[in-house]
Structure 1
Amino acid sequence: MSSPSSSPPHDDAEGEGSGGRSLSYGEAEYWDARYVEEGGAPYDWYQRYDALRPFVRRFAPPASRLLMIGCGSALMSEDMVTDGYVEIVNIDISSIVIEMMRKKYFNIPQLQYLRMDVRDMSMFPDESFDCAIDKGTLDSLMCGVDAPLSAAQMVLEVDRLIKPGGVFILITYGDPSVRVPHLNQPGCNWKIVLYILPRPSFTGKIRRHVLDPVPLTEKGRLPDGFVPEDPDSHYVYVCEKMQGLTGAGSPTVERQGEE
């Protein structure tokens, strides 16, 4: 979604559109203008594939059919094909970057690029993907107009598209207090397991292995007194779609003291 000089989305992120109108990270016009300016230079939000590979390989085998949400100009899908993944459908709200990526990867049949709004993916049938991955798109929607509604629309669409037993891997700067409520939409039935990754530039000592889940309370919050070593860590939510419904407002989370 951005160039190497860009900062992550934040609540007041905006640019200027035609006629001087302010645009937010949640709008297609904002991204179209940026990609034209940047010329499609490759950039991965938050983390590169090498850092995320342990999670992706554990929860989505290479034979999985994957949906890459808000692909932008990232190299992640290319890196995953190199790692053996056979079918990755990449979507983005920007028609500019989708056309750029189609031209760039025209000779890689494992990659498909479609212009699409994650809030309405009706061209895909129900339960048509084994895994969906997002790093930054939900965060961008949270910067836009009607953010809670946009977040709900996105999560419900992702839930619709994932097969039972499949996973939604969300990489975000949002801690559980501000992300679990959005994941826990009425009608969804996720088993949510949280992991924490330090920023690539972090040089401090990390006590836990990256694949050690972070226990959550019954309400889906971090335990009292838990502070990540890197205060600007990225949160990785692995949301497994369970059979049936547990009822609105009742996510299944990896609780403190559980394996």
Structure 2
Amino acid sequence: MRSRPNYLAGIATFGWLLIIGVPLYALVNTAVQPQTTYTDRGPVSLPSAVTFDNFVTVVRSGFVGYLWNTALVAAATVAIVLLLAVPISYAVVRGHGWLTRGVFRLFLLGLAIPAQAVIIPLFLIINRLGFYDSLWGIILPTAAFSMPVSVLVISGGMRNISVSLYEAMALDGARPARILLDLVIPLSRSSIATASIFAALQAWNGFLFPLIMTQSDSTKVVTLGLYNFVSEYGANIPALLAAVLMSAVPILLVYLFARRALVAGLMGAGGK
């Protein structure tokens, strides 16, 4: 039987599309207009002139270097999070002692601690370690605050693996490390991808740690580089929005390629 069309859902979807699409159009529209004329017409009107000089200004300001620094921070953060979160999640799922339960509760407690509440001791620790004004001063705190959610998501995905599969490999003589590499990680790819994207987003969009832990131009990331287009006497709005557009494209491409794994991992985050 043919299902009836859901007009109400179609109208709601179109309204949501407008809510998302109009700001994006205004962003792109302003980014390709000259600074002298971008206020002549409304933000959603057709541009009177199209120019790419704003993107040239952004590139000449050194913004590409900030993009490279941000990419390094995101890649290192994801690597550290996965290197620690995957075995921790495996131990939480397969362990039955009070220690593993306590470790999992400790990570859950980390969800309730905002970075702003511990920024001063974090600054002192990073300074004592000699990582102040370096990319490691951003990477380590970002990875630490990405760990609780990552452990929660990955352990939820691992709980969906059938116990019989664990028992079958154990009967074949496989050690825990072999079970993790050959069984758990391949079957937990969705949750691992979700944790990876979350950690990358945390690193890419992070503002507090770069602001507090760095000061030189060579260690700037995109969130701080946007301030180059804002001065005491005004702001170059078209160039600023061009920089925002350039900084959003890489993470958008990552999402487009990993969206299926992201959705599947979020659906399995609660476990069975």
User: Shorter-chain-normalised TM-score: which range?
Assistant: under 0.3
Higher relative contact order (CA 8 A, sep 6+): 2
TM-score by length of 1: 0.23
**Greater helix fraction, Structure 1 or Structure 2:** 2
TM-score by length of 2: 0.22
Larger Rg: 2
